[in-house]
């Protein structure tokens, strides 16, 4: 096997891994919306995975798929011939994000998913909410890093738009939940933020795969 062929093989592997990560991300979003249609009375995302909920097994699988997606895209970025670095490696942000979602999928919130440190809240609620929120904050940081990369103007624009919308909707939804406001509005905002963030992972994975195929051609 020639050196050129070997190099092409190395370049193709990140493309396949990134594509698998994108598929896992889109599947995660689909499963979350399947859970919501299954029980439309649930207002907030994490409630779908709470102890005793009929949607919990599928929802927690969706969170685990999201963790797998972020780690797969991370591995593709690490194996890429192109540098993905803005301040520090994008891969470091992605793997930390994936670990947070993996923890949130294993440590679910208690029935009703109460806000930590409120009456009825358990330690598992603090672990779950902290992990999930940290995961989405890291997702926003990853979007900012990709937006700072000097390539693919459309991906930079999409990352800026997504991080602004995700940041604004998730913060507003969290404030509504914290101050016990309109739960329907707060829940819709949270689902919107989660869907956009997960979709961004899928789109970024496809972009990494596309870049790697171009490099290999």
Instruction: Single out the residue of 136, 161, 159, 133 nearest to residue 146, CA to CA.
Output: 159
pLDDT (tens place) for every residue of the chain, 217 residues total: 333 334 444 447 888 999 999 999 999 999 988 988 887 777 677 788 888 888 889 988 998 898 899 989 988 888 777 778 777 888 889 889 889 888 988 888 888 777 777 788 889 889 988 888 888 889 889 888 888 887 778 888 888 888 888 878 777 766 666 665 556 666 677 788 888 889 999 999 998 888 887 776 6
Number of separate domains in the chain: 1
- Contact partners, residue 60, CB within 8 Å, separation at least 6: 49, 105, 106, 108
Q: What is the pLDDT of residue 2?
A: 36
Q: What is the pLDDT of residue 194?
A: 84
Q: Which domain holds residue 149?
A: 3-216
Separation of alpha carbons 159 and 177, rounded Å: 26
Q: What is the pLDDT of residue 35?
A: 87
């Amino acid at each position: 096997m020639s050196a050129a062929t070997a190099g092409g093989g190395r370049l193709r592997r990140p493309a396949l891994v990134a594509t698998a990560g994108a598929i896992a991300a889109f599947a995660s979003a689909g499963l979350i919306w399947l859970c919501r249609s299954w029980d439309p009375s649930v207002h907030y995302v994490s409630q779908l995975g709470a102890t005793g909920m009929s949607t919990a097994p599928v929802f927690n699988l969706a969170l685990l798929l999201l963790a797998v997606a972020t780690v797969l895209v991370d591995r593709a970025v690490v194996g890429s011939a192109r540098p993905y670095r803005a301040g520090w490696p994008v891969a470091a942000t992605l793997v930390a994000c994936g670990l947070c979602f993996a923890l949130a999928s294993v440590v679910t919130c208690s029935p009703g998913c109460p806000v930590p440190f409120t009456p009825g809240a358990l330690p598992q609620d603090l672990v779950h909410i902290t992990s999930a929120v940290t995961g989405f904050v890291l997702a926003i940081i990853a979007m900012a890093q990709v937006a700072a990369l000097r390539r693919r103007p459309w991906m930079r624009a999409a990352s800026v738009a997504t991080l602004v919308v995700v940041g604004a909707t998730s913060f507003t939804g969290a404030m509504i939940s914290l101050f016990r406001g309109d739960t329907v509005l707060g829940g819709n905002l949270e689902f919107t933020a989660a869907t956009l963030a997960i979709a961004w992972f899928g789109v970024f994975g496809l972009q990494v795969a596309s870049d790697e195929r171009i490099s290999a051609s």
